[in-house]
Structure 1
Amino acid sequence: MAANASFKTLRLQQVGRDFGTMNALKDLTLDIQRGEFIALLGPSGCGKSTALNCIAGLLPTTRGSIWLDDKRIDVLPAEDRGFGMVFQNYALFPHMTVRGNVGFGLKMRGVPQAAATPRIEKAIQTVRLESQAHKSPGQLSGGQQQRVAIARAIAIEPPVVLMDEPLSNLDAKLRLEMRQEIRRIHQGLGSITIYVTHDQDEALSLADRIVVLRDGEIRQVGTPEDLYARPAHLDVAEFMGFRNQIPVTLLSAAGQQVEVSAEGVAFQAIAQEPVTGQTAYAAIRPDDLIAVSSDAPGLPATVEAIEYRGRDFFGSARTASGTELFFRSSRRLTAGEPVRLGAQPSTILVYGAS
């Protein structure tokens, strides 16, 4: 089941969307190549769903333009763009069977039944629901209903498939299973998939590139590996799992290699952006901040909470100055116990104070 093979690029050029005086999207510019899986990632209110709805045609843009190769599409109504959409709430018709739901988009496009039937069956086969095709949505599990929604979106053989937090209503086990299915389906389509999520794990596991948004603006675009290891800004680092953000004082710098101090302890780190003043922030993942022996170098703190997560313990602690730290430990600690927390210099990223 291949998407329209004649297109190469979806281009967003300075796309903006205002709601009254609020700028929900600000000059969004991005080129997406055929076959790419793009995740729009960010917290609630960052503009990711607004961007998706503008691409889909469900919201008009206030400024800028959207192009499919040399064809401008932001001036077209949603039904003329030919994009597939998968909603958070599935939006299935309860009175129709799986086949009826999957074929609805083809019917609305006036595709003759003889031509629609093989496309419907192929879409159902792609999402592995052949044995459920005669059932109504009410007879299906949440994960199966989501598969029906995906099959309906791909049955029209769209150049672009848009997904708006499609797994948020599923339990943890089903989310993991559906991630694999969505990636498998995407790879078989040859289309663009644009996927909105606030879950960094989903974005990391699914996307070829991740677009991090904040306040309607693109903060960083990169591969999952790039964003996981080297977020460009402190807010991106926070969203990519760097929960520890420690105020530090810059002692010295030699290129990206810097020495900083916090809580009276000096340590080496890597500067991710220019640090112009003495004050900066060190960002560290909880996995990388480890409880060390009492005589080893590390930040002194007091344990506040600890929990066992299988192989290791994870906890929170607080320094004398009041900074909360999230850390990992190979041994059980108790609340109120003093602890020293350290990390390898390569895992400590430093950002300027904004």
Structure 2
Amino acid sequence: MKVTIQNLTKCFGATTAVNDFSAVIESGELIALLGPSGCGKSTMLNMISGILPVTNGKIFFDDEDVTELSPEKRGVGLVFQNYALYPHMTVLENICFPLEIKKVKKEERVARAKEMAKLVHVETLLDRKPSQLSGGQQQRVAIARALVKHPRILLLDEPLSNLDARLRIEMREEIRRIQQETGITTIFVTHDQEEAMSISDHIILMKDGFLQQIARPQELYDEPANCFVADFLGTPPINKTYGVVKNGQIVLEGDCVVALEAAKKLDEGRQIILSMRAEAIVVNGSDRLTEGIIDEVYVMGKEVLAYVQLGSRRVRAYVEADKEYNKGEKVNIGLKKRGVFVFDKETGERLV
């Protein structure tokens, strides 16, 4: 099912949590709604589910306007952060419960519940209570309960945040498997960029209630629309340096001149941010754009990360493991085309 969000706004008194937000989620896709805490992503999910009324705007499921419909009439499956399982019920009874509310006959609801339990790999746990389950097992049961009523859309609100790191990885892969097997349109709210990058078809990135960019995960990383997007994605974080355009070159704070070809297209005197991913910085390569000084070198298994002084800023750069670098050593710095961006200092708008 396709979801269309048109100019959606949600206000809580004088606070605008979601501001004139528009997006299209194609049928059968898994979409990550990503952003820092307080950016409005859970508010967005709750408006799509019908839990929260909208202040302005429209929500369509396919061609049906569901903006004013109650949650039970929208046909959504919702999984919360805390799973919200009923502690006095068994796994089977928890999964059956939405069908019991709909007055589905017992034989049919048990059959459907067992089918969902098998899909999420808890078919051997049907007689247990939630207290007898691990966090990952509880999450699987919550997903089965959301899916058993055959919803039009599955909504997941930070479903992995209560799990340990290893289980998070396992469960995000399981969520992707379940989503692909069912083909159900799924919106997955998270503040974890790695989670979003690893399992989603597209990412919707939000900040302060505003849409920043919608794109495939790799496109979001490779072609950020603005400085916030570039900053939010990537480990280690992208390097940010500040400078001004002079004579077709970029002069960074600390009088470090970078002979970047793209700078020739920028207005003289423009204040900019030069952002560079660690893998885009080439130390002592064949192309020299500027000079830096080695500050620290860290060996991290197969990768070696160097901190290089560029003007008044330190930047991270991956260096070859078989070469030795010493603190205080001067090195030539080149930049790859991929992973290097120039943003306007005031607006954060991408220039190059």
Instruction: Write the letter of the residue equivalent to 2:204.
Output: V
Answer yes or no: is the 8 Å Cα contact 1:291–1:339 preserved in 2: no
Instruction: Write the letter of the residue equivalent to 1:313.
Output: V
Judging changes above 3 Å, is the alpha-carbon distance between structure 1 residues 121 and 310 closer, same or farther for their aligned structure 2 residues?
A: same
Q: Which residue of 2 aligns with 1:312?
A: 303
Judging changes above 3 Å, is the alpha-carbon distance between structure 1 residues 276 and 117 closer, same or farther for their aligned structure 2 residues?
A: farther
Provide Cα deviations, 1:255-305, integer angstroms capped at 9, x if missing partner. Answer: xxxx5343423233668x987852211111223335448x9654524526x
Instruction: Report the CA distance between 1:325 and its aligned residue.
Output: 2.0
Q: Which residue of 2 aligns with 1:31?
A: 24
Answer yes or no: is the 8 Å Cα contact 2:294–2:325 preserved in 1: no
Answer yes or no: is the 8 Å Cα contact 1:303–1:334 preserved in 2: no
In the aligned structure 2, how far is the partner of 1:42 from the partner of 1:275?
Answer: 32
Report the 3-state secondary structure (helix = DSSP H, G, I; strand = E; otherwise coil) of the residue aligned with 2:124: helix
In the aligned structure 2, how far is the partner of 1:275 from the partner of 1:177?
Answer: 49
Does residue 245 (structure 1) correspond to residue 237 (structure 2)? The answer is no
Q: What is the TM-score normalised by the length of structure 1? A: 0.86
Provide Cα deviations, 1:74-118, integer angstroms capped at 9, x if missing partner. Answer: 212222222011111111122211111111222222222122112
Answer yes or no: is the 8 Å Cα contact 1:275–1:351 preserved in 2: no
Instruction: Write the letter of the residue equivalent to 1:178.
Output: M
Q: Which runs of 5+ in 1 are unaligned?
A: 1-7, 254-258
Q: Which residue of 1 aligns with 2:160?
A: 167
Answer yes or no: is the 8 Å Cα contact 1:87–1:164 preserved in 2: yes
Report the 3-state secondary structure (helix = DSSP H, G, I; strand = E; otherwise coil) of the residue aligned with 1:351: strand
Instruction: Write the letter of the residue equivalent to 1:214.
Output: K
Q: Which residue of 1 aligns with 2:117?
A: 124
Provide Cα deviations, 1:168-219, integer angstroms capped at 9, x if missing partner. Answer: 1212211111121111111111221001111111111111111111110111
Please show how residues 171-186 of structure 1 align to structure 2 within 5 Å.
Answer: 171-186=164-179
Instruction: Write the letter of the residue equivalent to 1:78.
Output: P
Provide Cα deviations, 1:6-49, integer angstroms capped at 9, x if missing partner. Answer: xx422111111001111110111112221011111111111111
Answer yes or no: is the 8 Å Cα contact 2:202–2:216 preserved in 1: yes
Instruction: Report the CA distance between 1:309 and its aligned residue.
Output: 2.4
In the aligned structure 2, how far is the partner of 1:275 from the partner of 1:23?
Answer: 36
Does residue 67 (structure 1) correspond to residue 48 (structure 2)? The answer is no
Instruction: Write the letter of the residue equivalent to 1:311.
Output: K
Does residue 93 (structure 1) correspond to residue 81 (structure 2)? The answer is no
In the aligned structure 1, how far is the partner of 2:122 from the partner of 2:295?
Answer: 50
In the aligned structure 2, how far is the partner of 1:155 from the partner of 1:60?
Answer: 26
Equivalenced residues, count: 339
Judging changes above 3 Å, is the alpha-carbon distance between structure 1 residues 342 and 168 closer, same or farther for their aligned structure 2 residues?
A: farther
Q: What is the TM-score normalised by the length of structure 2? A: 0.87
Instruction: Write the letter of the residue equivalent to 1:28.
Output: F
Please show how residues 1-354 of structure 1 align to structure 2 within 5 Å.
Answer: 8-241=1-234, 243-251=238-246, 260-262=250-252, 263-268=255-260, 278-292=270-284, 298-301=290-293, 303=295, 307-314=298-305, 316=307, 318-321=309-312, 323-331=313-321, 337-338=328-329, 340=331, 342-353=334-345, 354=347
Q: Which runs of 5+ in 2 are unaligned?
A: 348-352
Answer yes or no: is the 8 Å Cα contact 1:18–1:62 preserved in 2: yes
In the aligned structure 2, how far is the partner of 1:269 from the partner of 1:240?
Answer: 25
Answer yes or no: is the 8 Å Cα contact 1:260–1:269 preserved in 2: no
Instruction: Report the CA distance between 1:335 and its aligned residue.
Output: 9.7
Answer yes or no: is the 8 Å Cα contact 1:99–1:134 preserved in 2: yes
In the aligned structure 2, how far is the partner of 1:135 from the partner of 1:315?
Answer: 52
Answer yes or no: is the 8 Å Cα contact 2:280–2:337 preserved in 1: no
Answer yes or no: is the 8 Å Cα contact 2:279–2:339 preserved in 1: no
Answer yes or no: is the 8 Å Cα contact 1:90–1:145 preserved in 2: yes
Identity %: 38
Instruction: Write the letter of the residue equivalent to 2:239.
Output: N
In the aligned structure 1, how far is the partner of 2:181 from the partner of 2:301?
Answer: 36
What is the root-mean-square deviation in Å for CA atoms of aligned residues? 2.7
Judging changes above 3 Å, is the alpha-carbon distance between structure 1 residues 320 and 252 closer, same or farther for their aligned structure 2 residues?
A: closer
In the aligned structure 1, how far is the partner of 2:29 from the partner of 2:115?
Answer: 22
